Structure 1
């Protein structure tokens, strides 16, 4: 056995060895149990960074991470975009992709140019690709740097975020992305979104992506259901409060109510801008000689210039085009973005129009004084409730049209009552009533399944 060697006997207390007496140095060393030793070994062998004294860097501070979106977000940081349905969040993120790829402004904020990955979890491949092309064309931008945009289409192949993150990191390791956009996160949420501990584990995956790739991670989430007025913008996203505190930047969208006064001012802006455009194109000499800079934003002055310079035929074409544009603008919705920022100073909310398929900043200040419906005092809500039945019916019909069109754009071949109920955040019974009221849709019953909703043929009778 291992103790058969006689030399071991010299290694016990009190025994002489080479003329020297052996002593017991100490007792009760080490740990009493394996579990205690294992905990100690884990503590000294973890991969966490050591604490550093502030004095060691006081005179040689590290450089801050480069800015990705000026005054909003740095590279390597995280941003959440939250909003209700029908806000066009995916279109807003596609605009952001294009702005980063082409080095353009996004909602008035300049973007650093570089490569970006758009992780599409919701749209079918064809719909997603067409949206990118549609937005490029609508903003009037040449696709000069589309090599900077990669799209990872995962509809039908999504996995929980803790499984997706390592796969994403492996694929993106050598791509040199400066931003990765994940749209939307409800498709990859791991665990209960109302559990703080489970959502902390979920959002840690975004940290891992940002740290391993050195890029910004931007993700999209929906608002919680119900009344939002008493909530701060950072607390409107659905689920745990972790979503409000984990990102370095939060941009929250809330809809603004439009009334007749706002619509009238919007029409004046459309007519003024069209007059400026047509005068410059058709009568450049008159335009340069007679139209002052201050005239270009003045409705009355631009109308006076039209009467002075245009022929009857040109005036007719102007009014015809203005009418079409104003009719199209009836489908516009108005939105306000409020920011919660960790790295940059607060900035005033950004008001914008969602002119499908793009969002455009309200540079004329039309929306500045509007109050979101959820923030209105009770007396103001009571006044708005006194709208005529006809106006209310028209609003309900328009909302149904928008929801149906949105689902169609997302590539759904068969739109069910349940689809519309989820899109509009209403019950299926309410959807059924609105279909009857609208008159242009019909339900096709399916035994044991949700009814399909489709447009009526033109020759169908109500």
Structure 2
């Protein structure tokens, strides 16, 4: 079912009314091969009411059995491409090609409900007026016009134009037409009434009729000769194409001369690509051969095989390309309209139910950030289990439901082993392991913008209330320090959450360096988008555990180990002889063990050794957070003892500071200490400078030093100088100040 959503979406580009019977059957075969239902085929077939027969799809469906060369979803993909669909990835990172289409919906017209709009010949036939109006609408008087009146027949009997003329201006032609008394052949040359005549809609340089001879890339030709004239007309008007002149060809089509107003040939091509794409997506099957700016169109004011080529209308739709382009983009922006608060004030919509009580709602996003040794993956596995079992996670109650864990880092066996190990360490019975799905993608991961639609397809009908992606660096697209690139990246999580109605939870690493002095929102590596995008940010920062605390924890672990041994081998002794104080003393419990379980002392020693080891390999962490939907929570302290995290219920860690952070009073004391040290260093340096210089390099007297400081503007007394002598490592010898060498001096 990997392609299901794609194929259903692609059917929107395929009109069953335009298909042959065999092509219609091929669509049904492809749908069945790809795992769809007859109802999918039937719903699409209803778009052709003229040929649709209730129940026919279901009868045919049963006859589609396996074949040597099956019809696959590729058939539907190609049909969609032929009708204007283009995969976005086909053009990412390169220039548009001549046959490229522009991605996007841009659907304005409902092809199933559009009503035809008739065209009418002019009540009075005036060929001169027809051609004059055409020239005045499209050209400046000084611009050269290309036209063709001579034709020839190919082997199939089809009339084709010659190169024609291109050396006269619109002004010259209009003037001659006014003087020709209705005989336009006298101006342009006689044409074959079986073939009609042609004219070029962009001005030329008077030197030829190729694309390089076009001087202004002003107009493009929109023509479709594969559908009803009235329907063509209706769609063109419904699309509000900026049509300068609309001409009936005298055959099977209308020729719309559409304003594109391009500055150069490259821009012309891109705008025509865009124009044709919009027309195709709205049911107008464009002839791609008409793209060229030097293309010929049908000349109004002449006859063709008994039918008149005439102007249907001029200056219809939007007034310019810019106005039309803005309108098309605006009408297809897929954004909701603004809503009045008054509509909801007395009937407010229900908030999304919580997934993690007090932290995250269902359908919202959560980021867990922390350094590599924080056990983030284990924490997310713990969360998966808590959701499946309806248990608590880091102290918060979780809503029970199905969860998808997207494993991007571990091989399948390791991932499964971790889940089982965490279940066992938590002491939980695996009653609801059927609610946990693991998607193992190690070695198969793709960038997030490619992964998101694949994930949505697989999860669409599974009923997940949470999707956990671990870790995101495996699917990161772009520069993590770029705000706009990371906004695009995180938008993929929005798509998953919106399409599935599930919470999306993912983890990211901290930036380098100590994190204790930073706010939780500033610790995640890369752009601030990471921290500001999710609805809940859970941040882990390591605590700087002291040796004293570790010894306390060792004591607790040893006592707990002895207590378990007593409960196993001599529970009566535990009840009768061990006091509450003894239960808290490792030394007392050891003495009791020698009396109560002497035969098991070897086992006890091994248990004690393991208990001490388990404490020594622990790390301590503080959980902080920033929430969008709930009030800020008090920091949670916990131990990470492989493979699970345990909340510090007794408060052992409450006064421990994160690495790199100290309390304000301690910072102030250290600052004062540092300032005092600098001041002492400064005075010592000043005194040394005075001793070395005040007597021209010879050992000075106390009086010499006093006078030196006085000259520098700092008055000091002899007593102060004598204090400095002793304080800064000097001595008096024969009344002179010298470096103290440890000998006796006077």
Q: Would the TM-score normalized by the shorter structure come out above 0.5?
A: yes
Aligned partner of 1:152 among 439, 442, 450:
439
Shift of 1:316: 6.0
Superposed counterparts of 1:48-87, under 5 Å: 48-87=335-374
Matched with 1:339 is 625
Matched with 1:36 is 323
Q: Is the aligned partner of 1:138 residue 2:138? A: no
CA contact (8 A) 2:448 2:489 kept: yes
* 1: CA distance, partners of 2:511 / 2:442: 23
Superposed counterparts of 1:46-445, under 5 Å: 46-284=333-571, 298-299=584-585, 303=589, 306=592, 310-313=596-599, 317-376=603-662
Using a 3 Å threshold, how does the CA distance of structure 1 residues 84 and 54 change in structure 2: closer, same or farther?
same
CA contact (8 A) 2:542 2:621 kept: yes
CA contact (8 A) 1:69 1:112 kept: yes
CA contact (8 A) 1:235 1:244 kept: yes
* 1: CA distance, partners of 2:340 / 2:540: 41
Shift of 1:149: 0.8
Matched with 1:458 is none
Q: Which secondary structure state, in structure 2, belongs to the residue aligned with residue 273 of structure 1?
A: helix
Shift of 1:146: 1.0
Q: Which secondary structure state, in structure 2, belongs to the residue aligned with residue 221 of structure 1?
A: strand
1:288-344 Cα deviation digits (max 9, x unpaired) = 67879x769744898499469824335664454123211232111111111111111
Using a 3 Å threshold, how does the CA distance of structure 1 residues 8 and 329 change in structure 2: closer, same or farther?
farther
Shift of 1:140: 1.7
Aligned partner of 1:5 among 110, 122, 125:
122
CA contact (8 A) 2:359 2:630 kept: yes
CA contact (8 A) 2:514 2:659 kept: no
* 2: CA distance, partners of 1:91 / 1:143: 17
Shift of 1:358: 1.2
1:60-109 Cα deviation digits (max 9, x unpaired) = 11111111111111110100001111111111111111111111111111
CA contact (8 A) 2:573 2:596 kept: no
Over the aligned positions, Cα root-mean-square deviation in angstroms equals 3.0
Using a 3 Å threshold, how does the CA distance of structure 1 residues 78 and 286 change in structure 2: closer, same or farther?
same
Q: Which secondary structure state, in structure 2, belongs to the residue aligned with residue 323 of structure 1?
A: helix
CA contact (8 A) 2:622 2:638 kept: yes
Q: TM-score normalized by structure 2?
A: 0.45
Using a 3 Å threshold, how does the CA distance of structure 1 residues 37 and 290 change in structure 2: closer, same or farther?
farther
Shift of 1:381: 9.7
> Which structure is larger by alpha-carbon Rg, 1 or 2?
2
Shift of 1:245: 0.6
Using a 3 Å threshold, how does the CA distance of structure 1 residues 271 and 207 change in structure 2: closer, same or farther?
same
* 2: CA distance, partners of 1:8 / 1:71: 79
Q: TM-score normalized by structure 1?
A: 0.72
Shift of 1:242: 0.5
1:246-281 Cα deviation digits (max 9, x unpaired) = 001111111112221011111122123334434444
* 2: CA distance, partners of 1:214 / 1:231: 34
Q: Which secondary structure state, in structure 1, belongs to the residue aligned with residue 438 of structure 2?
A: strand
Using a 3 Å threshold, how does the CA distance of structure 1 residues 291 and 109 change in structure 2: closer, same or farther?
farther
CA contact (8 A) 2:408 2:440 kept: yes
Task: Point out where structure 1 has 5 or more consecutive residues left out of the alignment.
Answer: 10-26, 383-462
Matched with 2:302 is none
Task: Point out where structure 2 has 5 or more consecutive residues left out of the alignment.
Answer: 1-118, 127-313, 672-746
* 2: CA distance, partners of 1:4 / 1:230: 82
Using a 3 Å threshold, how does the CA distance of structure 1 residues 28 and 80 change in structure 2: closer, same or farther?
same
Shift of 1:143: 1.5
Matched with 1:431 is none
Superposed counterparts of 1:8-23, under 5 Å: none
* 2: CA distance, partners of 1:287 / 1:228: 46
Using a 3 Å threshold, how does the CA distance of structure 1 residues 156 and 40 change in structure 2: closer, same or farther?
same
Higher relative contact order (CA 8 A, sep 6+): 1
